């Protein structure tokens, strides 16, 4: 069981994270720290294995907190939960000590899975040196396959995807099977990892618009 400490500046963020992790085994939330304040003493008391740092309203606060984790709790994995994906911002976060960055656009159900994968060293989000997302012209997937892959990568089941897109569940399975073949992956987990690493995941609200 990994001990997880949440660092944020709003209790709503904390509650959302707690709810998202309820469906994921392997994590024990050991506390919440106000990210606007120093967290050295909290780190010493909680002895976390994982520290999830929200990007907060003041961009300096998460950077300061990441540095404190690196200095005072070097064995813990510090992760940034953020709405920002600019190269400069991510570069600052990694320089400050972030182990990985998770976009807030991720489906809540998928948050725990991503945390577990990162903890086990299977997902690392590095800042891009140049603009490197898969361009539409280079992507082997059709628009429907991309749409279904994006929803699957956000944690939606085949049945839920079928209801969202007004298609049959068999159609969803067919498109996912083609997606696995085209991407050269074996299963849903590997396809989801590919989607997240190549910026192919579109927030559900955007898909619906």
Quote the pLDDT of residue 142: 86
Quote the pLDDT of residue 50: 93
Tens digit of each residue's pLDDT (9 = 90 or more) over 136-178: 446 788 888 888 998 988 888 999 999 988 988 998 999 999 9
CATH T-level topology, domain 2-119: Rossmann fold (3.40.50)
At residue 200 the predicted structure's pLDDT band, cuts being 50, 70 and 90, is confident
- Assess whether the region 2-119 and the region 143-208 belong to the same CATH fold: no
The angle formed by the CA atoms of residues 26, 192 and 196, to the nearest 5 degrees, is 95
Tens digit of each residue's pLDDT (9 = 90 or more) over 76-134: 999 999 988 787 888 888 889 998 888 888 877 788 888 888 887 776 555 444 444 44
Q: Are the beta carbons of 124 and 98 closer than 8 angstroms?
A: no
Quote the pLDDT of residue 197: 81
Task: State both tokens at 43.
Answer: 């780190």
Beta-carbon-side half-sphere exposure of residue 79 (alpha carbons within 13 Å): 27
Q: How far is CA 143 from the centre of its chain?
A: 23
Element (H, E) at 90: helix 87-96
User: CA-CA distance, 194 to 123, in Å (whole number)?
Assistant: 10
Tens digit of each residue's pLDDT (9 = 90 or more) over 17-32: 888 887 677 888 899 9
Q: Are the beta carbons of 108 and 205 closer than 8 angstroms?
A: no
Task: State both tokens at 76.
Answer: 């813990």
Domain ranges, ordered by start, for the chain:
2-119, 143-208
Rounded to the nearest integer, the mean pLDDT of the chain is 83
Quote the pLDDT of residue 108: 75
Query: 143-208 — its CATH code?
Result: 1.10.10.10
How many other β-carbons are positioned within 10 Å of the β-carbon of residue 126?
A: 11
Where is average pLDDT lowest: 27-36, 44-53, 95-104, 197-206? 197-206
Quote the pLDDT of residue 202: 66
């Amino acid at each position: 069981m990994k001990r997880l400490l949440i660092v944020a500046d709003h209790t709503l963020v904390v509650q959302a994270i707690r709810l998202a992790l309820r469906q994921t085994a392997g994590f024990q939330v050991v506390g919440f720290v106000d990210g606007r304040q120093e967290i050295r003493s909290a780190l010493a008391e909680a002895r976390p294995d994982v520290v999830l740092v929200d990007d907060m309203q003041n961009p300096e606060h998460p950077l300061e907190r990441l540095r404190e984790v690196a200095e005072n709790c070097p064995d813990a994995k510090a992760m940034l939960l953020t709405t920002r994906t600019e190269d400069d911002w991510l570069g600052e976060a990694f320089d400050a000590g972030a182990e990985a960055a998770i976009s807030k656009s991720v489906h809540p159900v998928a948050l725990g899975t991503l945390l577990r994968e990162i903890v086990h060293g299977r997902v690392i989000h590095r800042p891009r040196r140049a603009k490197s997302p898969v361009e539409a012209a280079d992507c082997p997937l059709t628009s429907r396959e991309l749409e279904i892959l994006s929803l699957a990568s956000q944690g939606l089941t085949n049945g839920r995807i079928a209801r969202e897109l007004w298609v049959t569940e068999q159609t969803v399975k067919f498109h996912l099977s083609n997606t696995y073949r085209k991407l050269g992956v074996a299963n849903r987990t590997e396809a989801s990892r590919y989607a997240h690493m190549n910026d192919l995941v579109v927030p559900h609200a955007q898909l619906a618009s």
